[in-house]
Amino acid sequence: MFRLDHQKAVSFCDGLRRRDFLHAGSAGMLGLGLTDFLSLKAQGAVHNDKSDINVIMLFLVGGPSQLDTWDMKPNAPSEIRGPYKPIKTNVPGIEISEIFPRMARHADKWSLVRTLYHTAAAVHDTGHQMMQTGRLFQGGLNHPHMGSVLGKLRGPNGDVPPHVLLPRPIGNTGGNMPHGQDAGYLGKAHDPFVLNADPAEPNFEVPDMLPPDYISAVRIKRRRKWRDMIDDAVKHFEEVPDAKLLDTTFHQAYTLMSSKKARAAFDLTQESDDTRKRYGWNRFGQSCLMAKRLIEAGVRFVTVNMFETVFDEITWDIHGSSPFSPIECYSNLVGPMFDNGFTSLVEDLSRTGWLDSTMIVATGEFGRTPKINPAGGRDHWPACWPVVMAGGGIQGGRVVGESDDIGGAPKSRPTTPAEVTATVYHGLGIDLETELPGPQNRPIRVVDHGVEPIMELFT
């Protein structure tokens, strides 16, 4: 990681120096290029319309077991049904796992699609890609995350970044492939702003909105090259593409980067201890609370990764033996963690009226094998798994699709990850015919031809 330091300091009226601003870089600031931001602002595309639909994507890294969460089979043999029992929800006919008691009391606010599937390799990375981009990484073409597409098409909503990723990017999950969590071929300027910190840590501080590390996207190998580039930029500003900051636009960019509103959205100390406890004093719970605050501050898309990896950490990845997780963790750790974070998010957004304009998507990258393995866990199973959706036009109390008697395959309404992506775009009001500027100026649709949204969720 690199810092941009110019040897001559230039001070602003609030004491921040010009070189401090340059720490942030001139490309990819807060996930949006300066020229993109100013262009959108000039076109009137940057606004604060609270009627816009926003998205919070809760990515349940590891792949929750359908049979132990939202598609239980209590009449199946013990090696299929597993150790958990179903409980009733506040919607007649909908039952979910006993590990989600709070969630069960709000089934009228969320809906299930129980028949997601894909036929690609049963590895984590492929599921990450398809659930966040709608497509598989093939032929070297890295497709953009939905939040990056939204940022490209709509720009920022005021002076906050359009897409934020919490708390950290997905790391190693064994496949050594892209996870679909960046802007792909849209370019670094549309990458999400990444918190890169644990908001549950006692020493957590509001992130510096002038992040020196973010400039690493330019990938210059030596610090000396940065100095040389900025020395040249200060002398011949208009001649450096990545530092083309005229006097008027420089101050506009500075205002964007030093926004008190943006910093306040990340400040969880403004919440009461009772509220923070209700979400859960853990990384996921506090990230859900922060996601709520960011949406209320104008961020359009927030991605919350529940875990960073599946190795040597308790996650949804219940193979049953080390370095993975035992099935018991669903009841004593992972299940309650999700139940508290998700339910508090739904409760608070509903109470304040924000749920109508905020779509929540909670999903893993695949399901688990119907039959419990010899280690007492379940292995990867992309043939059938559920997604939970709420708000932003999604009607609550619905179940779309039915799996077979062992939860191993769709029995009705098979649904692809691309259809979930199309559903999100539909909720956002993005025409599925919209084309993005792909590599070598080749236009690429936001979804493939023939892919349609899951309209049963809206009517």
Give 226-267 pLDDT, tens digit per residue.
Answer: 455 555 555 554 454 444 434 433 443 444 456 788 889 999
pTM for this entry = 0.83
114 in Cβ contact with 103 (< 8 Å): no
What are residue 112's phi and psi, to 5 degrees? -120, 140
For residue 140, what are the contacts with CB-CB under 8 A and spacing of at least 6? none
pLDDT of residue 430: 97
- 181-211 burial: b if 16+ Cβ within 10 Å, else e: bbbbbbbbbbbbbbbebbbbeeebeebebbb
Contact 91, 107 (CB under 8 A): yes
Bridge partners (DSSP) listed for residue 276: none
Q: What are the tens digits of pLDDT across the range 346-357?
A: 999 999 999 999
Per the prediction, the chain carries an average pLDDT of 84
In terms of pLDDT, which residue wins out, 179 or 211? Answer: 179
> Residue 4: which pLDDT band, with cuts at 50, 70 and 90?
very low
* Predicted pLDDT of residue 387: 98
Distance CA 303, CA 290 (A): 11
pLDDT at 42: 44
Say which CATH topology domain 51-206+266-457 has: Alkaline Phosphatase, subunit A (3.40.720)
Contact 192, 148 (CB under 8 A): yes
Gap between the Cα atoms of 331 and 328, Å rounded:
6
The reported pLDDT for the residue numbered 257 is 54
SS3 380: strand
Spell out the domain ranges in the chain.
1-30+211-263, 51-206+266-457
HSE, CB side, 13 Å, CA atoms: give it for residue 133. Answer: 27
Q: Are 180 and 145 in contact (CB under 8 A)?
A: yes
Asked if 451 and 416 touch (Cβ cutoff 8 Å), the reply is yes
400, 415 Cβ separation under 8 angstroms: yes
**Tell me, what's the pLDDT at 221?**
43
In degrees rounded to 5, what are phi and psi of residue 374? -60, -25
CA distance 280 to 304: 15
Strand partners, 412: 402
Q: What pLDDT score was predicted for residue 176?
A: 83
- The residue ranking higher by pLDDT, 38 or 424, is 424
The separation between the first and the last C-alpha atoms of the chain, rounded to the nearest angstrom, is 49
Residue 313: band (very low, low, confident or very high) from pLDDT cuts 50, 70, 90: very high
Q: What is the pLDDT of residue 15?
A: 39
Q: Which of these, 347, 390, 418, lies nearest to 54 by C-alpha position?
A: 390
Confidence class for position 208, pLDDT limits 50, 70, 90: low
How much is the pLDDT for 236? 55
Name every residue whose Cβ is closer than 8 Å to that of residue 409 and which is 6 or more positions away in sequence. Answer: 117, 383, 384, 403
**For residues 386 and 66, is the Cβ–Cβ distance under 8 A?**
yes
